[in-house]
Amino acid sequence: MMQIPLGHILVLSSMLFSIGVLGVLLRRNAIVIFMSIELMLNAVNLSFVGFAQSMNSLNGVMFIFFIIVVAAAEAVVGLSIILSLYRSRRTLNIDEFNLLRW
Amino acid sequence: MILFYLFALLSVFGALGVLFLRNPIHGAMSLVGSFFSLAAVYVMMQAEFVAVIQVLVYAGAIMVLFLFVLMLLSLRDEGPSFIRWSVGKVLAVVIAFGIWAQLALVLGQHDPEALVPQIVSSGEEADSIKLIGQLLFTEYLLPFEAISLLLLVAVIGAVVIAKRRYPGSSS
């Protein structure tokens, strides 16, 4: 089977990462912002797999294992924060949350 | 090779769906599609373990969690789903495109294959699950234990944060 060139994988990864950045910066829905963060984590995972394949080493795969666990923990805590925010403010629009603004 | 480009295109379209679809549930489903096509890309890169984890944890667990939260919160019309400040919009596009252009520029100037040191493997397959298991419980034992502790802390934190505070309780 032909190996996919590393450059193509990295370009795909950078495209996904930039779309994630754009989502975080543009969207105002807190949950959509969280989904964009997951997208960025996925882009990083993709480049890890690309380098692991290119170096013929398993350390990249181990890193992905840990990244995915951290992403799961982050999603759980973040979504519970969103839930309790929604209970107090009845909205998900992050423009309404100005508790920490000076 | 054609399949790689097909699934790469599908994952980019899924990501764009998260960005542009107004309804967050549609965005979440589009993100699930993006994760599935990324898993297909991982299979093509001979990283079956990562592909399985991707489908099980990302598409299976994390996105179901997102959908549950979206269901719990009633979906009223949130008004404008994008930021209102148009200068900020332009700035956001410029920043994101700048990040992408920088990455592409670096990739265009250097051949990434040449930068990677070639590690001679022991002749085994690069992604055999048996090897990953052995590595996990020997070389990466301490990070493994630490990450399990992190999961425990996350579970407790989520329960404490999302707990409904009844009137009359002391907290």
Contact A39/B83, CB-based, under 8 Å? no
In chain A, where the domains are located: 6-89
Q: How far apart are CA A98 and CA B108, in angstroms?
A: 42
pLDDT at B50 over 50: yes
Percentage, residues of chain B above pLDDT 70: 80
Nearest alpha carbon to residue B95 among B107, B111, B83? B83
- What's the pTM value of the predicted model, to 2 decimals? 0.86
Cβ-contact B32, B70 below 8 angstroms: no
Chain A partners within 8 Å of B104 (Cβ) = 11, 14
Query: pLDDT tier at A26 (50, 70, 90 boundaries)?
Result: confident
Summarize pLDDT for B102-125 with one digit per residue, the tens.
888 887 777 766 666 665 555 455
Interface list for A 39-68 with B (CB within 8 A): 39, 42, 45-46, 49-58, 61-62, 64-66, 68
Cβ-contact A38, A57 below 8 angstroms: no
Nearest to A22 among B84, B93, B120 (CB): B93
Chain B residue closest in CA terms to A39: B15
Q: How far is B169 from chain A (nearest CA, A)?
A: 17
Summarize pLDDT for A27-67 with one digit per residue, the tens.
888 889 999 999 999 999 999 998 888 887 788 888 999 99
- Mutation test of the interface with chain B: which of A1, A13, A80, choosing the one with the most B Cβ atoms within 10 A? A80
A6-89 folds as Helix Hairpins (1.10.287)
Q: Which residues pair with A29 in a beta bridge?
A: A93
Indicate the DSSP class of residue B166: -
